[in-house]
Structure 1
Amino acid sequence: MMIKKMFALSLTLVTLLYIALATPVSTYAASSTATSDVAKAEAFIDQAIKLAGENKLDQAKSSYQKFNDRWYKIEDGVRESSSEAYADIEEKMGQVSFSFMQNKAGSAVNALKSLKAANEKFIDGRYASGNNIKKNVSLTDFIALLTNTKSLIESNNVQEASEKMAEVKSTWLSVEGNVVSKSKSVYDSTERDMVTVSALLKANQPNTDKALKLTNQMINDLKPLAAQKGYSIWDAALIPIREGLEALLVVGALLSFSKKSNRPKARKWIIGGVSTAILASIILALIVTFVFSSISFGDNNFLIVGWTGVIAAAMLLYVSYWLHRQSHISNWTQYIRDKSEAALGTGKMFSFALLAFLAVFREGTETVLFLIGLVQHMTPLNLLLGIGLGLGTLAVIALIYIKIGVRIPMKPFFVLSSLIVFYLCVKFTGSGIHGLQLAGIIPSKVDMSLPSISLLSFYPSWYSAVPQLLLVAGALALIIYTFIKNIKNKAAEQREEIAN
């Protein structure tokens, strides 16, 4: 009954979300301020063309650098006015940087003239207008950003490439829904490699060869996805299934435990946490869509995923340890009867509700944002059918999970639940720290000697690897300690029986 209510609530809220998103929003013309800014900055391009034509490449490069510095201050306005213009100008800027690296006056003049032509095309309003100043960039635009970053790396402009990579990371939120709906493996590798490339470029001795290789790999992985035009019902269904499974494992373990202990009040707390998380996820997604642009919200989304992941991991560690302890209680039924308030008091139930909220909110926010990315690419019926199929599949999995959990004897149930929760603890730790690295809160230093394991959210960075390894080492130490303690206790009991 609880699962059915959760499914109905989720589907109702998502339907309302779709109606809100599908409602046309008023559009805006290209910003006159952006046009004026580009026109003023173009004076530096004219000067650079003149100097390059006179074979004064050092002076020409200095003049172009002034345009480049101005561009970082005005690019947001250009992007809001026309994502097409923004991508084209970015690409032409990459060509200019590459031409200066070649140190050939003729190539520099041609590249600068090409950039000037793109600027004038924007000034004249000949690019397609973004219409909505909050419009998200497309996957093609994102690939153009990566291509520009690649050009900067090739020209050995490490500082500019690093700054451009920061923009790539903040823009990721606009396209990740399109990517994850088509290829989860490409989504995982791209999100991992963005951190790696950023770290390689920021290192004291930048590894441009490796950074270039990874950037090129991201471009090659994403291009086939950009060429795919259609989305099926299954594409929409896979998003809530993929993102919801981990949260389901957490919530399912908590619900199974509350049912085995016959505490319906605990189930209400857990369901309350889940429902609140679903509602909060949708509200946040609506705020991002209508109040912020997803680009400006990019780092904040990484912060949300990062901090909720780290906090949830800490709580999962506690729950895993608690479940592990319960598995060694010889008569658990008698224990829960005698100490029910201690085992599941209000504080414990609130903790379960908070953990359920964090697990669902962490995945729910990204799920809703992913689905927002499909609103303009699918018919309303197909999208809602896909979402319903995904949520329905999750509901069926949840029912099976809980029924199986209830039928498992107490000791194996606690052992299995402890292992599942601990696995999620390790994974949430890695993905949470990775999110904070994407947000720039934790340094993005990497060690390419470390492996990358998506199943465990294990990334080639000691910042995330060390906490995960410590968790595993601590768990093994606890298992060994418990094993030795049990042997000693059994030996003591045997000696006592012999003595009697």
Structure 2
Amino acid sequence: MTPCIFRLALLTFVIIAAPLSNGFAQPNLAWQDAEELQSTSASLIRMMYRPVDHALEEKAAGKLARIQSLWNDHLAASFEIAVPDQARTVSDALIDYANAVSTWNPAKAASAHADIRTAILHGAFARTVDLLNSGDVETASQWLNIREYARTSRDTAASIAMREALAGRLSPLQTRDIIKTELLGIYASELRRELADARTHLAQNYTVQLAGTIARAQGLHRLLAGNITERLGPQKGTEISNIMTGLRTASGDDELETNLQHLQDLFATYAPTSLPQDELERRVRLLARFLNLIPLEYEKGVRDGEITIPFEYFEAQLFRDRAQMIYGDLGHDLSQRHPRSFDRLGTILDEMKYLISSKGNPEQIRNLATEGQEIIADTYGSDTANGGYKASLLLLPDLFDEILLIAQAGDWAEAELKRLEAYAFFDPDIEQRLVPRSPSLALKLESDFWEGSITEPGLGKLIADHGPLEPLKITVDRMKRQTTEASTILDTQLSSLGAFVQSLAILLREGLEAVLILACMIGALKSNGVKAKGPNGWLWPITLGITLALAGSFLLWFAVGKLFAMSTLQRELLEGGTALVAAAVLFYVTHWIFRKAYVGDWMAEIKHKVALTSDARKGDKQKFLGWFTLLSLAFLIVFREGFETVLFYEALLIDAPTLPVLGGLFTGTALSLVAAFAILGLETKLPITTFFRTTGILLAILCIMLVGSGIRGLQTAAIMSATPVSWFPDAPWLQLYFGLYPVTETLLAQGLLTAILIISLAIPAWSRIRTVKT
């Protein structure tokens, strides 16, 4: 057979076989490779920010080869058969991408990367809809995995609908409608975000980022073009298409800025679908929540025109951008309800953006946020406009998914910032309300934000270790389930009995420890002959310490709510630091009590007192030291628990009946006082040595608990690392009531303190034994 005839036969076979393969043997979609292609091509662009050298060229060539292999060997066949137009777009963009890498042109690479990504998303979306139209749910579920996830709204509706369809409980057409509604909404939000980012990059002269955002906006527009024409009309649809096409060929920065601004105006009232009422209310809550957070974070991050805490400043920018995106989602509905409110809210967000970027007056930002919240309340009602913990519960699943997506892209530093952002929504908004109702779930969620356990590592550890991704996905799924469980618990109306029990539990858990410490200390002082009243009495310093602590707790609660903002990590640091200082003072007291219990040389003690009497100045110094020790310990012990207790009761009283809560508070107070009087009663019934030993051991245990809680506070304030262990039980009751966490650092500190306490007990005891023998 001649070569010419052979090629003709081969061509004939391909023409005949192609339709057959389309109908009978479509290749399986390796959807995981689409995410790897996205993350690898993005990481290669980040490499191109550096000056090129031989080593970097070799590394870039390896990444480029992997990108081309992922498309040519894994994805191309599926796309060419199912969505040939998008397959051609990806292939052409890959050629542009390779040329950009070979010439080390990061701007062109960013533009080609955006073309690749949006074409893949476009093809996956179109193919998912086509397969559901034909009833092929199984294959559609694979294509649905290639999609963009929501930044400001839940992304669970599409996933749930697909699971229901696979189980036969939802028809393919119903599933199609749910998925289209969700994905079109996400892509519309992303398009608005890209246009806003493009204007920012243009103003800052970030050419690489600008090229990427423009190409991504154009790609998303191609995906949405049909829906845009349907929702805004043919005239606006054509106008938008013409402006979009000319973005890359604009004659200068001024023309590009004008076109981007015009596009933002055209998209201001665009909504791909009408939002259902529950989704509308949810987004209104989120918008109100972000407007509340912007001034809080900005005031912590900027002072006198200078950035003081970069992370807080970053969060203020982030929350403003999220508010802008939700404003776009609500644009159609808001403009229909109240056009003037729609216009004014847009102006408020623009003014906020300018003030934040120029590090303007925090008071102006707060005033703008207040005005924006008033507009939302006037338009949608004060109940709907109230963000609160419900908005935080709505946001957390999205933030968890964003953490996973960012990690999959290899940007671990950004993933860590996103984790801290999510933790700021959990603590204090959710944790304060959850601890009284389900303390074990609250502890588990908090642990999963940080180190987790050996068998179930937490977000903090996985992100610090840079993966692996599969355990990270498992952790994200687990935390989303826990968030759903927390939402169910918090949405359940408390009965009178439930409110009483939870109120009682708060006081016993937070207050009993302080009562026991003070009772043991007072009992020891009384047994040693120290009177309550008088210049050297214990009553005044302890009473003053307790009074100052209670006043300080309420004053700090008022100040944080009204005068200034305290970040989550700052609050954790305050609690942890206070616990450790209290433990240090308590250790001093415990050591003194052990000496009283085991040292029998009372003559030496009398001689010591005589010596103090002969040296008036030294005696005064010793008296002041004892007085100050009592005052500071009483203050630290009560203040450590007081502020958090006030917050817990404030959260509980939001939706719990008042009388049962007060009943629990008074009952808990009474039980704590009974425990105190029981300890003080032992002082009159037990021999003095036995009493000292009993109270000394109890105080030693409480001191060890304080150290565990203090170290844990520093860990959750991101001051210390946390390393889980497998040999210690991960039991919530041990953590809540004994400060025993399955973490190396806390257990090591508690073990060291235990050893010191044992030595402080053993040395005087051994000395006494030797004295008796001699």
Q: TM-score, normalised by structure 2?
A: 0.47
Counterpart CA distance in 2 for 1:337 and 1:273 is: 31
Q: In 1, are the aligned partners of 2:541 and 2:630 still within 8 Å (CA)?
A: yes
How far does the alpha carbon of each residue in 1:130-182 deviate from its partner, in whole angstroms, 9 at most, with x for none?
959x97731x4444444234424554447354333212332311222321211
Q: Is the 8 A contact 1:270 1:356 kept in 2?
A: yes
Are 1:238 and 2:505 matched, yes or no? yes
Counterpart check, 1:229 vs 2:493 = yes
What one-letter code is carried by the residue in structure 2 that aligns with 1:165? R
* Pair 1:242–1:331, CA change in 2 (3 A): same
Structure 2: runs of 5+ lacking an equivalent: 1-85, 94-111, 119-149, 160-175, 190-270, 272-282, 284-325, 338-375, 452-457, 613-618
- Shift in Å at residue 351 of structure 1? 0.5
Distance, in Å, in 2 between the alignment partners of 1:277 and 1:348 is 19
Given the alignment of the two structures, is residue 475 of structure 1 paired with residue 757 of structure 2, yes or no? yes
**Unaligned ranges ≥5, structure 1:** 1-50, 64-87, 98-105, 493-500
The equivalent of 1:203 in structure 2 is 464
- Per-residue deviation, residues 52-107 of structure 1 (Å, max 9, x unmatched): 996679416989xxxxxxxxxxxxxxxxxxxxxxxx8544479999xxxxxxxx99
Q: In structure 1, what is the Cα distance between the partners aligned to 2:580 and 2:719?
A: 13
List aligned pairs for 1:6-405, cutoff 5 A: 58-59=113-114, 89-92=151-154, 112-115=183-186, 116=189, 119=326, 120-123=328-331, 124-125=333-334, 137-138=388-389, 140-152=390-402, 154-155=404-405, 156-157=407-408, 159=412, 160-171=414-425, 172-196=427-451, 197-214=458-475, 216-218=477-479, 219-220=481-482, 222-230=486-494, 232-260=499-527, 261-264=529-532, 265-292=537-564, 297-330=567-600, 335=605, 339=609, 345-405=623-683
2:686 to 393, 405, 408: 408
Q: Distance in 2 between matches of 1:96 and 1:405?
A: 67
Distance 1:408 1:168 in 2: 53
Look up the equivalent residue of 2:397 and give its one-letter code. T
Q: Provide the rounded CA distance (Å) in 2 between the counterparts of 1:431 and 1:181.
A: 18
Asked if 2 retains the 8 angstrom alpha-carbon contact of 1:199 and 1:445, the reply is no
How many positions carry a matched residue from both structures? 410
SS of the residue 1:165 aligns to: helix
Cα 1:251–1:483 shift into 2, 3 Å? closer
Residues 258 and 267 in structure 1, CA contact (< 8 A), matched pair in contact too: no
User: What amino acid is aligned across from residue 121 of structure 1 in structure 2?
Assistant: D
Q: Percent identity?
A: 24
CA 1:483/1:368 → structure 2, altered by over 3 Å: closer, same or farther? same
Q: Quote the offset at 1:368 in angstroms.
A: 0.2
When residues 109 and 217 of structure 1 are mapped into structure 2, their CA distance, relative to the original with a 3 A threshold, is closer
Q: 2 CA distance for matches of 1:247 and 1:208?
A: 44
* Secondary structure of the corresponding residue to residue 465 of structure 2: coil
Instruction: Give the distance between the partners of 1:258 and 1:147, measured in 2 at CA.
Output: 53
**Structure-2 residue corresponding to 1:84:** none
Residue 435 and residue 365 in structure 1: after superposition, are their counterparts in 2 closer, same or farther (change >3 A)? same
In the TM superposition, 1:437-448 aligns within 5 A as: 437-447=715-725
- 1:7 paired residue number: none
Residue 94 to residue 427, structure 1, CA distance change in 2 (3 Å):
farther
Provide the C-alpha distance between the structure 2 equivalents of 1:271 and 1:410, rounded to a whole number of angstroms: 25
Deviation of the 1:239 alpha carbon: 1.3
Distance of 1:271 and 1:62 partners within structure 2: 67
Q: Give 1:412 deviation, angstroms.
A: 1.5
Deviations 1:450-490 (A, max 9, x none): 54442442334333232222112223344444454344333
Aligned amino acid, residue 181 of structure 1? P
The answer for the alignment partner of 1:101 in structure 2 is none
Larger mean CA deviation between 434-443 and 342-351 belongs to 342-351
Paired residues of 2:599 and 2:764 also in contact (CA < 8 A): no
**1:370 Cα offset (Å):** 0.6
CA RMSD of aligned residues (A): 4.1
Residue equivalent to 1:488:
770
| Residue 293 of structure 2: aligned partner | none
Distance 1:211 1:399, change over 3 A: farther
* Distance change >3 Å, CA 338–CA 448, structure 1 → 2: closer
1:482 and 1:363 map into 2 onto residues whose CA distance is 34
Contact 1:332 1:410 in 2 (8 A): no
In structure 1, give the amino acid aligned to 2:184.
Answer: K
